[in-house]
């Protein structure tokens, strides 16, 4: 679970929890998949219950000090720029949403497709290889008029 972190709001001067949204989302996911017995839910089920938007939010500017610095930066190679990760994940999330809403995805460029594949590769090289082997998008983009 994410620790409670309080910070003074510069505008109001009041202390507020900076990661309340993140904590609430995790708590909701845990409650949704908790077995009837009351035992701890399987971590994989909790992870699967959280939205892609949740995961991209973890890389946001707002959570840099609370999540990126102490935890997430270690998941990437040393020297990885958080802004590059944030932008690529946001682009990937936007693309995924376009697919989910049956929008035309062939209006994008080959360089955009490569950036998306590169982001997947940063997270998992085998997943990127699998994605490329199953995807016809590169050929379709190349063949379009």
What does the pLDDT look like over 6-22, one tens digit per residue?
Answer: 778 788 888 888 778 88
Q: Mean pLDDT for the chain?
A: 83
Q: What is the pLDDT of residue 139?
A: 78
Q: Which residues contact 4 (CB under 8 A, 6 or more apart)?
A: 17, 19, 23
Contacts of 104 (CB under 8 A, 6+ apart): none
Q: Which residues face 8 on adjacent strands?
A: 15
Helix (H, G, I), strand (E, B) or coil at 66: helix
Structure letter (DSSP) for residue 76: S
The answer to whether 59 and 65 have CB atoms below 8 angstroms apart is no
**What span, in angstroms and rounded, lies between the C-alpha atoms of 29 and 82?**
26
What per-residue confidence (pLDDT) applies to 48?
93
Residue 86 has φ and ψ, to the nearest 5°, of: -60, -50
Sketch the domain layout of the chain as residue ranges.
6-75, 82-143
Query: What is the per-residue pLDDT for 3?
Result: 67
Tell me if 85 sits within 8 A of 76, measured CB to CB.
Answer: yes
pTM for the predicted model, two decimal places: 0.65
The values of phi and psi at residue 107, to 5°, are -85, -5
Closest Cα partner for 71 from 137, 10, 141, 5? 5
């Amino acid at each position: 679970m994410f620790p409670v972190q309080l910070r003074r709001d510069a505008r109001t001067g009041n202390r507020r929890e900076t990661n309340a949204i993140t904590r609430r989302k995790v708590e909701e996911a845990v409650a949704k998949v908790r077995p009837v017995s009351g035992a701890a839910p399987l971590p994989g089920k909790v992870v699967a219950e959280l939205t892609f938007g949740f995961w991209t939010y973890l890389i946001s500017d707002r959570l840099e000090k609370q999540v990126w610095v102490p935890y997430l930066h270690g998941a990437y190679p040393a020297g990885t720029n958080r802004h590059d990760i944030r932008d690529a994940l946001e682009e990937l999330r936007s693309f995924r949403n376009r697919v989910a809403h049956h929008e035309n995805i062939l209006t994008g460029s080959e360089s955009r497709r490569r950036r998306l594949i590169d982001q997947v590769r940063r997270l998992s090289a085998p997943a990127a290889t699998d994605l490329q082997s199953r995807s016809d998008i590169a050929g379709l983009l190349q063949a379009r008029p």
